[in-house]
């Protein structure tokens, strides 16, 4: 190459042209390299401009809701089911039941089984406080005029994947409409400091009507009904009288 360039056969004009073309090629290479660099630097700038608006939008989203979801939480879902008799026979007893159900996977599934029918509700996450606190569920049934057992506050420890159930036995003595409240509290006991805090979760009004039949207590009504059905059968159905006589004779023998 150098031998060709500096060959005595090349004239001065040819050498000048060769030099010019060389510089021209070098200039084009330089421009190309500058352009590619500019493109390379432009790409990040376009990315930056595309990212910038999203970064600007984030603070405009409601910040408190984000904080609320980042609160300590466990994947548990809970549902409160209250079961009670709105009407009860005076003198009879019945059960009031308050339940928190959970599923086998440790999630609380809002289910309640009533007469074979499964009632399912909405699932809701609750904060995970089991790691830092002992969670105690407390419940009470406050109603006047009806005998309630247990009459005071009942409490159970709430563990992950465990359901909690409260029962009250009620017995109205007299006829009337009785109104009461079923309370549910959560008591948090700090595992380290032992500090306690209590929170009322639910207060449900309950109305129970105690009835009887024309002033006759249910116990008496059942006794009269039992005796009357036997007497009525003996009087009304002659063959039934024969059956009764036959049975009594057989017993005597």
Partner 1 sequence: MSRRVRTLLGVLIFAMSIALLIWGLAPLRREIRIQNISPSEMQLPTPISLRSDLWVAL
Interface residues with partner 1 (CB under 8 A) are: 68, 71, 73, 78-89, 94, 110, 112, 114, 119, 121-122, 124-127, 129, 133, 186, 188, 197, 199, 201-202, 204, 213, 218, 221-222, 224-238
Least separation in angstroms between residue 57's CB and partner 1 is 25
Shortest approach of partner 1 to residue 237 CB, angstroms?
7
Cβ atoms of 108 and 100 within 8 Å: the answer is yes
Nearest to 155 by CA among 181, 137, 179: 137
Q: Closer CB to partner 1, residue 169 or residue 197?
A: 197
Shortest distance, CB of residue 135 to partner 1, whole angstroms? Answer: 9
Q: What is the 3-state secondary structure (H, E, C) of 185-208?
A: EEEEEECCCCCEEEEEEEEEEEEE
Task: Name which of 57 and 192 has its Cβ closer to partner 1.
Answer: 192
Of residues 15 and 222, the one with the C-beta less far from partner 1: 222
Q: Which is nearer to partner 1, 28 or 216 (CB)?
A: 216
Indicate the residue among 53 and 64 with the shorter CB distance to partner 1. 64
Minimum Å gap between C-beta 234 and partner 1 is 7
Could you give the dihedral angle defined by the CA atoms of residues 230, 236, 237 and 242, in that order, rounded to the nearest 10 degrees? 70
C-alpha closest to that of 199 among 191, 210, 189, 207: 189
Residues 192, 132: Cα–Cα separation, whole Å:
8
Question: Least distance (Å) from partner 1 to the CB of residue 60?
Answer: 21
Which H/E stretch holds residue 54? helix 12-57
Distance CA 71, CA 65 (A): 10
Phi, psi of 231 (to 5 degrees): -65, -45
């Amino acid at each position: 190459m150098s031998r060709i360039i500096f060959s005595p056969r090349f004239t001065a004009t040819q050498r000048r042209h060769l030099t010019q073309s060389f510089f021209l090629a070098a200039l084009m290479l330089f421009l190309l390299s500058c352009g590619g660099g500019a493109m390379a630097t432009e790409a990040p700038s376009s990315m930056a401009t595309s990212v910038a608006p999203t970064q600007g939008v984030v603070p405009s989203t409601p910040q408190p809701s984000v904080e609320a979801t980042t609160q300590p939480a466990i994947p548990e879902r809970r549902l409160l089911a209250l079961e009670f008799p709105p009407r009860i026979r005076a003198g009879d007893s019945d059960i009031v039941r308050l339940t928190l159900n959970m599923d086998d996977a440790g999630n609380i599934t809002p289910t309640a089984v009533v007469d074979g029918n499964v009632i399912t509700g909405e699932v809701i996450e609750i904060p995970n406080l089991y790691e830092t606190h002992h969670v105690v569920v407390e419940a009470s049934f406050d109603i006047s005029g009806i005998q309630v057992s247990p009459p005071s506050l009942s409490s159970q420890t709430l563990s992950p994947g465990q359901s909690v159930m409260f029962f009250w036995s009620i017995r109205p003595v007299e006829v009337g409409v009785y109104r009461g409240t079923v309370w549910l509290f959560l008591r948090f006991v700090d595992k380290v400091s032992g500090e306690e805090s209590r929170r009322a979760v639910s207060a449900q009004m309950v109305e129970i009507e105690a009835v009887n039949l024309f002033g006759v207590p249910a116990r008496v009504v059942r006794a009269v009904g039992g005796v009357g059905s036997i007497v009525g059968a003996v009087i009304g159905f002659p063959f039934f009288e024969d059956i009764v006589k036959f049975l009594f004779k057989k017993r005597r023998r």
